[in-house]
Amino acid sequence: MSSKRWLAPWRDSADKPAIYHCISRVVDRRFVFGDEEREKFRVFMRMQENFTGCRVLSYCVMSNHFHILLEVPPMPEGGLSDDQLLDRLSATCTGAFVAETAAELAEARRQVAQGLAAEDVVVGRIHERFTYRMHDLSEFMKTLLQRFTRWFNRRHERAGTLWEQRYKSVIVESGVAARTIAAYIDLNPVRAGIVSDPAEYRWSGYGEAVGGGPKGNGKKARAGLVRACMSHHGAGYDAGKWKETSRIYRRAMGLALGKRSGGADVRERVVRDPMNTAEALAAANGENGTVLPELKMAAMLRRRVRYFTDGAVIGSKAFVNEFFQTARKRFTPDRCDGARRLKGAAKPASGVLWSFRDLRLRV
């Protein structure tokens, strides 16, 4: 199999989300990120998100690596308006640069209005200088890693590479797969023994969604997790659906929401299954019958699962096989299908989620 990065063949479709789990580690896996570094990484990530039009569904920045669950939507049909382009530029460029670009666009529009030039020539070329870096996985990650490396090297008076290799990316199906990978990402600090509840960790999608307040990045983090959990039901980036989504999401992570005597929600500090056996059996006989499998998968997420970082494509059997058919020519006739059953630590998800790669060692 080629080492070329796998990209969703439907990435330019408005009907099917192109979602990727992206991972990168610090060179030599050194623990070099403190509070300041993790906060700066989040700032750069949000800036890049606002510029590119890609959407962070969830993320986690640890001491020596990070995870990002990223949706890469297609460029809007008809492209961006001048105002939209300038708004995107304001996310990463100085006010003076944005004003200079606005003046350049105004002059180009004047030339078009007077019949002195074609719009696709004078206006189109200005747009193209920036839009080639938008709605693109590679450009999002390359710029994010480069900007953070430059800041980190200046801050710590060092030179050279910061990341140990090219970032990894795994294609993720919307629905159960996206929700599971998001939960796996947000549970990183729990697996590391840093916190007992992911809501207590500031530099993650869930921690930001809970602790960020109703405005600003807290709202954006909530909208991302709503999309991760509910996109297969047609939900967009709607932070207003956070209340119902948060309960689904905490159940996926194996966490429960309790109530204070006054009725306010309170997070339980101990990670445990969200229902007792009787409650789980009753719910399993309900409309979707998914509770018992989710309880097993929640326990799985508190362990390291290599499929989620090395599996290439994660989703339903039909989803993985669909991807395989688009790349059929890259494989020998001996391979009949794409989906591989999960094993080892990932066995609780076997039959629900499938992998494109069959990881034989230390799965």
Cβ burial, residue 118 (10 Å; 0-12/13-18/19+): exposed
- Give the other-Cβ count within 10 Å of 76's Cβ: 12
- Contact (CB, 8 A) for 46 and 217: yes
**Token digits of residue 308:** 């989620």
- Beta strand 65-71 with 265-267 is unpaired
Looking at the DSSP assignment, which residues form a beta bridge with residue 111? none
- φ/ψ region of 157 (left if φ > 0, alpha if ψ in -120 to 50, else beta) reads left
Domains of the chain: 19-75+140-255+300-355 (3.30.70.1290), 82-131 (no CATH)
Q: What is the pTM of this model?
A: 0.87
For residue 65, the one-letter residue type is H
pLDDT in 10s for each residue of the chain, 363 residues? 445 678 898 888 878 899 999 999 999 889 999 999 999 999 999 999 999 999 999 999 999 999 999 999 999 999 999 999 999 999 999 999 999 999 999 999 999 999 999 988 999 999 999 999 999 999 999 999 999 999 999 999 999 999 988 899 999 999 999 999 999 999 999 999 999 999 999 999 999 999 875 556 689 999 999 999 988 777 778 888 898 899 889 988 888 654 333 444 434 443 444 443 334 333 433 434 344 466 678 889 988 999 999 999 999 999 999 999 888 888 888 888 889 999 998 999 999 999 999 886 554
Looking at the DSSP assignment, which residues form a beta bridge with residue 313? 171
Closest CA relative to residue 300, chosen from 195, 190, 143? 190
Q: What is the pLDDT of residues 101-155, one digit of tens each?
A: 999 999 999 999 999 999 889 999 999 999 999 999 999 999 999 999 999 999 9
Closest CA relative to residue 39, chosen from 295, 271, 217, 219? 217
- φ/ψ region of 187 (left if φ > 0, alpha if ψ in -120 to 50, else beta) reads alpha
Helices (H), 53-118: 82-89, 95-113
346: enclosing H helix or E strand: none
Task: Calculate the alpha carbon distances from 207 to 213, 219, 248, 267, 306 in Å.
Answer: 11, 12, 16, 12, 24
Angle at the Cα of 242 from the Cα atoms of 240 and 248, rounded to 5 degrees: 145
- φ/ψ region of 12 (left if φ > 0, alpha if ψ in -120 to 50, else beta) reads alpha
Task: Calculate the alpha carbon distances from 209 to 86, 218, 239, 281, 288 in Å.
Answer: 28, 5, 9, 31, 27
